[in-house]
Structure 1
Amino acid sequence: MKKIFILTGEPSGDKLAAQVVKNLNKDNIDLQFLCLGGEHLKRLGINSIKELNDVTYLGFTKVFLNIFKIKKNIKETANQIIKFNPDILFSVDSPDFTLRVAEIVKKMAPKIKTIHFVAPQVWVWREGRVKKIKKFIDHILLLFKFEKQYFEKENVSCKFVGHPLLEKSNEAKIDIGQIIGKNKAIISIFPGSRISEMEVLMPILINFIKLMNFKYQDFLYVFHTTQDLRNNLENILKKSNIDNYDIVSDEKIKGYIIERSIFAITKSGTISLEVSYKKIPSIVIYKINLINFLLVKFLVKVKYVNIINIAADKMIIPELLQSNCNPDSIFQMVSSFMENTKKMSDQTEETQKVLKEFTTKTSPSENVANFLKAHI
């Protein structure tokens, strides 16, 4: 029996990996899986060697304060992978964690094939990483076509497969009135997939909603989160003195609710891409502590944080970052969309043009699954 270890470092990678596994399972190949993953992979019956939240740290400061724990997690994870002795180590995203693990595994067990999905964003910063990655990653699978140039020039084996979030969903049709309130226009809000992100963004978002409620009475704010963070979010919102909100953590209905939204507020990341794919106008918000921000500003070489804006090299989706990520600015920006339907349709039209460059003929997760099958 062939064995695959699936290594993720955060919820978005867990979701991507699960979509790939579903495609692998379609062919009834006799495979044994073990993972470091979250709720998506666990739902497929795959055991995880650690809790995903235990290895996820956001920002330079958090990493610095937990550096010894992080190093311990990396070493323990690598040792457990070597003990499992898979034919393939399939790592997904979170390069600062997954690639460090892969490097140790390759050094200690060179016969294990290392295939990494979701390239580190060398086009944003630290392009020099490519030469190092070449030494311990056998193949790298890319989300975006424009990434190929960075890896091919260093003769790294790479393949454009597309982004699994940009594939048609098989979600069942749902009576949305059974889940959330009727007769309300939905604004979807994504406050982050980490506790540290939520702690920063939620006070800002709550005060934004209070401002909106003075002007508009017909909106329902639906917060999207993971099952692991649902209780944290509920506790924050119960103390907020707002009542026109709902929380969704069930992956089976989240996509359907996004499609029924008139607008979305997202943090930077893959969720912004998914919202754009579903043709929902949006803005991006994000805020980190000052030390992290100054370091990022010094090191990063792109003008935008949103992949749509980066690929287009222009601001299509507004970005409210750092000092601009405040209740008043978010309120003003969202209001400008609510009162101008053309502004909403113009953004959607522009994002669809950019997304054409990200798509493939067959589904991205199927492309990844086929690649794994060909190399096992």
Structure 2
Amino acid sequence: MKLFLIAGEASGDALGAALMAGLKELVPDVTFEGISGPLMEAEGLQSRFPMEELSVMGLMEVLPKYRHLKRRIAETAQGVTATRPDALITIDSPDFSLRVARLARVGLPALKAIHYVAPSVWAWRPGRAAKMAEVIDHVLALLPFEPPYMEAAGMTCDFVGHPVATMPVATPTEAAAFRARHGIAPDAPLALCLPGSRRGEVGRLGPRFGAALDLVAKEAPELAVAIPTVRGVAALVRETTAHWSPRPVVVEGAEKAAAFAAADVALAASGTVSLELAANALPMVIGYDFNPLTRFILRRIVRHDTVTLVNLVSETRAVPEFLGEACQPGQLAGAVTRLLRDPGARENQRAAMALTMERLGRGGEPPGLRAARSVLRAIGRA
């Protein structure tokens, strides 16, 4: 069995790697081609070009790279056609991957197309599901309330659970070792700073998050800061934070889990990372902003009063979020400081996080394996 997979950002790379592992367990002779990051590469997919080229979000962020992305769409669609896979599996990054699927079907009209991560039609632009149904046959959903939206648009859909529900959590010993390794006292407050996995996010949010943590440090002079980051933006993160006070510890790869376990609070960009923090029961404050034009457009089409997944899945508003014009250092700092000082607020968040993990499949079959079974059913190989 031969599959062509496309992932365009770090979270998609993690989803794809878990899916590939599940498929290899069920179909030992499966082979993979496509576009991926380091986690999928470790599972056996040699990426046709660096996945980081696709990690662009927001209207004004995409425009300068439009011609290059258009070329990559055409190249990738040609690759799918030449490969003639049993299925094309696109993972998130719909602006790129669904265009590839449409072009690939010109050459392969019978191509089975599967999309991993349902579009957030419950939050904004409900018409996206119908548009996606023009080129996608089957959807793998991460959230339990998503299948009805996809099925109503004409696609089949399975809730497969979220891989974050099974992510490994570092032990207290590993957390203590992390602090010792980086010279952070056992009783010093430690804040994680997570300004995003895309270059645009780091450039836009990094300075605000840094200014916010500087304000927090004025209230908590012993504050230490750690920034877990990913390969594509690690150099930019180090450059952006070189003059921060307090000077952060920048960590990659294997140290990430220990940093999550060692921290007391997190200041994070909106996105999947909120679920990673929830898996570690780490209280958080969420901030996010686009450029002014994208912000103006989104303000008129967003359908919910929260975008934080922990709030949505738990059906609470336990996690404070500051979006758009509200994403300012003073407001972010105030919320982080309140979390550090208020045990009740931290416990309120932890209760919402525990409910979120339960609803996302914690304790059940690994989502990557569930997703693999769903793929095989969709292509008639179950």
> Please, what TM-score do these two structures have when normalized by structure 1?
0.93
Q: 1:30 to 1:253 in 2, by over 3 A?
A: same
Asked if the contact 2:223–2:246 (Cα under 8 Å) also holds between the matched residues in 1, the reply is no
1:127 deviates by 1.6
Of the three residues 227, 249, 259, the one matched with 1:246 is 249
Report the 3-state secondary structure (helix = DSSP H, G, I; strand = E; otherwise coil) of the residue aligned with 2:304: coil
Asked if the contact 1:219–1:244 (Cα under 8 Å) also holds between the matched residues in 2, the reply is no
1:351 deviates by 2.8
* Partner of residue 256, structure 1: 258
Q: Deviations over 1:41-91 (max 9, x none)?
A: 223342101111222222111223333322222111111121122112111
Q: Name the CA distance, whole Å, in 1 between partners of 2:247 and 2:127.
A: 48
Q: 1:303 to 1:100 in 2, by over 3 A?
A: same
Asked if the contact 1:268–1:285 (Cα under 8 Å) also holds between the matched residues in 2, the reply is yes
Q: 1:210 to 1:126 in 2, by over 3 A?
A: closer
* Partner of residue 94, structure 1: 93
Q: How does 1:69-84 map to 2 (within 5 A)?
A: 69-84=68-83
1:192 deviates by 0.5
Q: Name the CA distance, whole Å, in 2 between partners of 1:200 and 1:350.
A: 29
Report the 3-state secondary structure (helix = DSSP H, G, I; strand = E; otherwise coil) of the residue aligned with 1:132: helix
Q: 1:261 to 1:204 in 2, by over 3 A?
A: same
Q: Name the CA distance, whole Å, in 2 between partners of 1:171 and 1:106.
A: 44
* Partner of residue 215, structure 1: 219
* Partner of residue 369, structure 1: 372
Q: Equivalent pairs: percent with the same residue?
A: 26
Q: 1:272 to 1:210 in 2, by over 3 A?
A: same
1:29 deviates by 0.5
1:312 deviates by 4.6
1:27 deviates by 4.8
Between 1:181-190 and 1:325-334, the stretch displaced more is 181-190
Report the 3-state secondary structure (helix = DSSP H, G, I; strand = E; otherwise coil) of the residue aligned with 1:209: helix
* Partner of residue 284, structure 1: 286
- 1:46 to 2:9 alignment: no
Q: Deviations over 1:274-325 (max 9, x none)?
A: 1112211111001111111010111221221112223455422100122221
Q: 1:229 to 1:64 in 2, by over 3 A?
A: closer
1:243 deviates by 4.6
Q: Name the CA distance, whole Å, in 2 between partners of 1:170 and 1:205.
A: 25
* Partner of residue 143, structure 1: 142
Report the 3-state secondary structure (helix = DSSP H, G, I; strand = E; otherwise coil) of the residue aligned with 1:279: coil
Q: Name the CA distance, whole Å, in 2 between partners of 1:212 and 1:131.
A: 46
1:109 deviates by 0.7
Q: Name the CA distance, whole Å, in 2 between partners of 1:112 and 1:126.
A: 27
Report the 3-state secondary structure (helix = DSSP H, G, I; strand = E; otherwise coil) of the residue aligned with 2:231: coil
1:31 deviates by 1.8
- 1:328 to 2:327 alignment: no
Asked if the contact 2:219–2:337 (Cα under 8 Å) also holds between the matched residues in 1, the reply is no
Q: Name the CA distance, whole Å, in 2 between partners of 1:245 and 1:128.
A: 42
Report the 3-state secondary structure (helix = DSSP H, G, I; strand = E; otherwise coil) of the residue aligned with 1:187: strand
Q: Deviations over 1:241-268 (max 9, x none)?
A: x254201111x23123212211111111
* Partner of residue 356, structure 1: 358
1:168 deviates by 4.1
Q: 1:321 to 1:28 in 2, by over 3 A?
A: same
* Partner of residue 17, structure 2: 18
Q: Name the CA distance, whole Å, in 1 between partners of 2:351 and 2:328.
A: 27
Q: Name the CA distance, whole Å, in 1 between partners of 2:214 and 2:164.
A: 32
Q: Name the CA distance, whole Å, in 1 between partners of 2:192 and 2:241.
A: 15
Q: Name the CA distance, whole Å, in 2 between partners of 1:151 and 1:199.
A: 34
Q: Which runs of 5+ in 2 are unaligned?
A: none
* Partner of residue 153, structure 2: 154
Q: Name the CA distance, whole Å, in 2 between partners of 1:25 and 1:364.
A: 14
Report the 3-state secondary structure (helix = DSSP H, G, I; strand = E; otherwise coil) of the residue aligned with 1:223: strand
Asked if the contact 2:192–2:228 (Cα under 8 Å) also holds between the matched residues in 1, the reply is yes
Q: Name the CA distance, whole Å, in 1 between partners of 2:348 and 2:103.
A: 48
Q: Name the CA distance, whole Å, in 1 between partners of 2:214 and 2:193.
A: 14
- Would you identify which runs of 4 or more consecutive aligned residues in structure 1 move more than 4 Å? 170-173
Amino acid in the other structure paired with 2:5: I
Q: Name the CA distance, whole Å, in 1 between partners of 2:263 and 2:113.
A: 40
Report the 3-state secondary structure (helix = DSSP H, G, I; strand = E; otherwise coil) of the residue aligned with 1:146: coil
Report the 3-state secondary structure (helix = DSSP H, G, I; strand = E; otherwise coil) of the residue aligned with 2:281: coil
1:26 deviates by 3.4
Between 1:189-198 and 1:74-83, the stretch displaced more is 74-83
Q: Name the CA distance, whole Å, in 2 between partners of 1:132 and 1:322.
A: 27
Q: 1:273 to 1:170 in 2, by over 3 A?
A: closer
Q: Deviations over 1:189-232 (max 9, x none)?
A: 11110111101111112222222222213222111111221111
- 1:188 to 2:187 alignment: no
Q: Deviations over 1:6-38 (max 9, x none)?
A: 111211111111122223333571122112111
